Structure 1
Amino acid sequence: MNLPDTSRHRRALAARLIAQGHLKSPAWKAAVEAVPRELFLSSGVFLPEEATGLWRPITPDGMDPEQWTALAYSDQSLVTQLDGRLTPDQADSAVSGFPTSSSTLPATVVGMLEALDVEDGQNAAEIGTGTGYSTALMCHRLGEDSVTSIEVDPRVAERADASLETAGYSTWTVTGDGLLGNPRRAPYDRIIATCAVRRIPYTWIRQTRPGGIILATVGPGSWSYGTGLAKLTVKDDGTAEGRIIGPSSFMPARSQAVVPVSGDLAACTAYADTERKAIIEPDRLNEWMPAFLAQLAAPGQLVRAVAGGGQETVYLFDTSRESFAALTADAGEWTVRQGGPLAIWDAIEGAVAAWRDAGEPDISAVRVEVSPHAHVYWIGGQQMATPNRSYWIGDNPALRWEHRHQPLTT
């Protein structure tokens, strides 16, 4: 299929991104205007059908060329794979499924690339190749020999590599678990992840030069929202420090995707240790910052269920699924039942209350430090210094969370 020249669409996309405040530098503007996004959608896309909840496959061969080009340059994320296997060119009709790969909203892609603060001559790694579009933008900006892109799904990686070759970029594409990085091409000046992770893998810090930047979406829990874009600078002592620069949402890293809690949730939460009136309503967790704080305080899963009579129950489980909280409403008043070694709702209420008392700061107030032993998040505090390093001491212990972990050895 011969597609029309898309140079005017690329220029229009760049102009929109500039007007929206996402595209700021001439070098990235040149990349957006040079890289044809449609080349990275050759297998088609899935569009959601709101009425049915299904996904409708659209391919370039089955659509008017001008309409296809307009879709390719639209301001939306375009799903390119369902359930880790199905692509649009393999489906004849609308199908059900869960998105596992996509071409991310251009504003998000470009905004993250701008935040990466790259400089000429730097060596960069991308975790999650996806369609390869963002990889191509990085190749245009830094040179194809300065970009390494790692994709866990062999079929996604194969399609992306072919698209990159078609676009004229013979870069370093690697099939493997991006959480392990790629030590053969290290050290890197910049690492960017196009998937969400529960924590920044320490392997990324080990593979980044001191002074280098890591940019990734983090969420200690396994929620589909309430995650933040962490920007960290690697330090000489082998730690990394920075902050959450804004809300962000990406598909989770494939190895960290969690099977939702299923079965009889009422039976799973039948034996509670305590029951009381909830101080904070669970609807507050519909807001991005409280949801992020809730995951810091009690990482795990959240499930909302509606009974036949229309009564909603909000279930929370910790990552081990040994502790739970179940909230139900009666005449507008919420009751929470909790069981297991961790009082999940107590921890969440404490975090949200402390944040509220601090004036409800934005998610960009959250600072992060990663060491071989732990992730530490905090809000507020003052900077202290020793001869070898500077660090922050939080004013309010209720606004400080430490998640200890075992470092990877790879």
Structure 2
Amino acid sequence: MTAPDSTALRHDLANDLAHGGVLKTAAWRAAVEEVPRELFLRSFFKDAPGPRGHEYTPVSPDADVDEWLTLVYRNETWVTQLDGHLTADKATGPVTGFPTSSSTMPSTVVGMSEALDVDDGMTVLEIGTGTGYSTALLCHRLGEDNVTSVEVDPDVAQRADDALEATGFSTWTVTGDGLLGHPRRAPYHRTIATCALRRIPYAWVRQTKPGGIILATVGPSAWSYGTGLAKLTVKDDGTAEGSIIGRTSFMPARAEAVVPLSGDLAARAAYADTERKTSLSPDTLNDWMPAFLAQLAAPGAQLVRATSDSRETVYLFDTGREAFASLTADGDQWNLRQGGPVAIWDAIEEAVTAWRKAGEPDITSVRMAITPEAHAYWIGGQQITNDQRSYWLGGEEPALRWKHPYPPMTA
């Protein structure tokens, strides 16, 4: 098949991103206009509700080249792998599964590229090569020798490397655990992650030059929302500090991906240590900022909704600590049952209440800092360092502060 000419589509995509305020600089515009996204999306899935639940239909130029190319240049995220192994070129029709790799929508990719604030000659460490499209944009902007990209999945890494070679970029693509960075080529001027993380590894701080920037999505690993794009500057003393600059959503890092709970949920919550009423509805966690706060208060907790006899129960499970909270509607209140060594809903309720008292600030008001020992978030107040991760909200004096029973972060 003769390769289609996507010049006009690339130009239109650049125009759309510029009109949307995402594409701001000439150098990144040139990258968008000259890097053919179709080489990185030779096949993918489009998703829609189906008779078996959420279904994924393979798309490739073999079926309909015009539809395929049009979809490639839509400002959308396309799933490229299901369940850690199934790709669209191996699927013969609609399938079900759990997305494990994707090509992120161009507006997010370009927006993050702009936020990196790169200059000519800078080196970049990219965590999560994926299809390789964002890697190619970085190579176009900075030169292939200045880009190092790490991908944990060998098959995904090979396809990305092949696409990069076909585009003309022989960059440094590495198969490995991106949470460890890539010390061999460190230090880097910039570190960027295209996956979501519970916390930013201190290894990335060590491998980023003082004055350098780390850009990564932090927040819930168990939910697909409630995450924020953190932009941190590494300091001379080996710490990093910055803020959440906006909402963003990525698949979790493979090492932090949560296996969906199955089996008898009620049995998991059979033995409660405490029972009480609460006026805080679990529906509050459908909103972005409360979901972000909930995972600061109860990191790793999974939220599951179950219906029995037309009655819905909302569960939160922390399987690592064998703790749970279950909430069932009772008029304008909720019956709350909690069990295990930590009171999950108490912590979430305290965090959301303090946030509301502070005027419900947006996620962009959150600041954060990383040291070798601690990972801290706050809104207002003064930063406090301790030997474990800590979080607080408040004004001049923190109104709320809590610690997590996790060991100090290490590289």
TM-score for the superposition, normalised by structure 1:
0.94
For these two proteins, the number of residue pairs brought into alignment is 400
Distance 1:243 1:94 in 2: 41
1:120 Cα deviation from its structure 2 partner: 0.9
5+ unaligned residues in a row in structure 1: which ranges? 385-391
Equivalent residue number for residue 389 of structure 2: none
Contact 1:46/1:88 (<8 A) preserved: yes
The share of aligned pairs that are identical, in percent, is 66
1:346 Cα deviation from its structure 2 partner: 1.0
SS state of the match for residue 97, structure 2? coil
Distance 2:330 2:37 in 1: 51
Distance 1:309 1:329 in 2: 13
Instruction: Label 1:202 to 1:110 Cα distance change in 2 as closer, same or farther (>3 A).
Output: same
Distance 1:128 1:73 in 2: 21
Instruction: Label 1:376 to 1:294 Cα distance change in 2 as closer, same or farther (>3 A).
Output: same
Equivalent residue number for residue 388 of structure 1: none
Contact 1:221/1:298 (<8 A) preserved: no
Distance 1:305 1:382 in 2: 37
Distance 1:394 1:149 in 2: 40
Instruction: Kindly provide the amino acid, as one letter, of the partner of residue 405 in structure 1.
Output: P
Distance 1:181 1:405 in 2: 20
Instruction: Kindly provide the amino acid, as one letter, of the partner of residue 409 in structure 2.
Output: P
Contact 1:41/1:72 (<8 A) preserved: yes
Equivalent residue number for residue 48 of structure 1: 47
SS state of the match for residue 360, structure 2? coil
Q: How does 1:140-151 map to 2 (within 5 A)?
A: 140-151=140-151
Contact 1:202/1:408 (<8 A) preserved: yes
- Once the two structures are overlaid, the 10-residue window that deviates more, 141-150 or 90-99, is 90-99
Instruction: Label 1:37 to 1:378 Cα distance change in 2 as closer, same or farther (>3 A).
Output: same
1:271 Cα deviation from its structure 2 partner: 1.1
SS state of the match for residue 360, structure 1? coil
Equivalent residue number for residue 409 of structure 2: 407
The Cα RMSD (Å) is 1.8
1:142 Cα deviation from its structure 2 partner: 0.5
Equivalent residue number for residue 131 of structure 1: 131
1:305 Cα deviation from its structure 2 partner: 2.6
Distance 1:319 1:225 in 2: 20
Deviations 1:35-82 (A, max 9, x none): 00000012x01111323321111111221x322211110111011111
Equivalent residue number for residue 397 of structure 1: 398
Deviations 1:105-124 (A, max 9, x none): 11111111111111111110
Equivalent residue number for residue 379 of structure 1: 379
Deviations 1:144-176 (A, max 9, x none): 000000000000000000000111111000000
Distance 1:260 1:51 in 2: 20
Equivalent residue number for residue 387 of structure 1: none
Distance 2:169 2:338 in 1: 54
Contact 2:381/2:397 (<8 A) preserved: yes
SS state of the match for residue 61, structure 1? coil
Equivalent residue number for residue 349 of structure 1: 349
Residue 59 of structure 1 pairs with residue 60 of structure 2: yes
1:383 Cα deviation from its structure 2 partner: 7.8
Contact 2:222/2:258 (<8 A) preserved: yes
Distance 1:271 1:319 in 2: 14
Instruction: Kindly provide the amino acid, as one letter, of the partner of residue 51 in structure 1.
Output: G
5+ unaligned residues in a row in structure 2: which ranges? 385-391
Contact 2:193/2:216 (<8 A) preserved: yes
TM-score for the superposition, normalised by structure 2:
0.94
Contact 1:181/1:204 (<8 A) preserved: yes
Distance 1:273 1:338 in 2: 6
1:362 Cα deviation from its structure 2 partner: 0.4
SS state of the match for residue 300, structure 1? coil
SS state of the match for residue 62, structure 2? helix
SS state of the match for residue 107, structure 2? helix
1:260 Cα deviation from its structure 2 partner: 2.2
1:267 Cα deviation from its structure 2 partner: 1.2
1:402 Cα deviation from its structure 2 partner: 4.7
Distance 2:195 2:224 in 1: 12
Contact 1:315/1:325 (<8 A) preserved: yes
SS state of the match for residue 109, structure 2? helix
Q: How does 1:243-262 map to 2 (within 5 A)?
A: 243-262=243-262
Instruction: Label 1:296 to 1:221 Cα distance change in 2 as closer, same or farther (>3 A).
Output: farther
1:344 Cα deviation from its structure 2 partner: 1.1
Equivalent residue number for residue 198 of structure 2: 198
1:399 Cα deviation from its structure 2 partner: 4.4
Contact 1:300/1:316 (<8 A) preserved: no
Contact 1:304/1:312 (<8 A) preserved: no
Distance 1:14 1:336 in 2: 50
